[in-house]
Chain A
């Protein structure tokens, strides 16, 4: 998966989690929490969805890496670059 594809996966997961937010204006470098109505359960849902789709584990101590789109993609890149997008 390219970084653009990883970004698409995260966007798709976010769409399911926060259907009422407009994701087209999402700024990659700003924290999700400043732009979307996300609570800690929403972040857990992102983690669970990534595992379900790609069997990629994000341990609890790394949750802070998921603060923004840019940091999430950078964090997931080494784990997901060799996977096929589904």
Chain B
């Protein structure tokens, strides 16, 4: 009668290896697609990719040099191969007597800022990560709490008020709430400096600078999470096993906090994984509004500068973040929900 027991460590490992392999394949596909967009499409459109890489009012000599450096005259598969090789073995760009080393992992080189992309990404990644994680903690706490309360007090004034605020939070754009919070708390009341300070310079300064961005970003997501939590909680409260829990004589807080929350958190964690993955790709509006030097601000700047290698690098990092987040969510899901088989 037994239909197998919970997944053992070996099953988990096998599953992990399978998923990692799939993730790697996915990444390769994404690289090929992105590569195609940046190198092939311009060529079909009759635009010389080299001019796009130089970025500014280009001297013909400079364009020729970039063409040489990037090997744009080579067959496309050679270029792709060079790019992949660069990821693992590093790359050397040489032209006109100028040699530029790009150490592995070489995600390309910005000829606009004369910088390898990878250090730029690693420099900016922690800012975005801190923004996303800090905001996630806030929105999880407040969003889920508000959603649970709304579900338990369904139809009450609290429920209606919370849901109206949540609707506002979902509909108001970041640049509006962001500028509003800046105008009130930073310029107006002067409570917070709201200016980014690297954490290694001053922890309190860093904290002070991150609070408004966290709150602004968390407000948007807390609203979304409150709505989802409320709906899920209401559904779960109607489940038979909640009635069973009560029939056992469990206290109501345990029924809600343990039995109902366990089921409610499953879709929320799934969402969290996706949202974090996407945010790590760049919370462009939040970072721009608060002048945070994160990936989002970098990619926006790169877009306005037509600094293609940076755009390409951030695109790849974003894809990577989303894939990793997906993988984590799936693994987490298997931990939370024993019905999910790792197969």
Chain A partners chain B: no
Residues on A facing B (Cβ under 8 Å): none
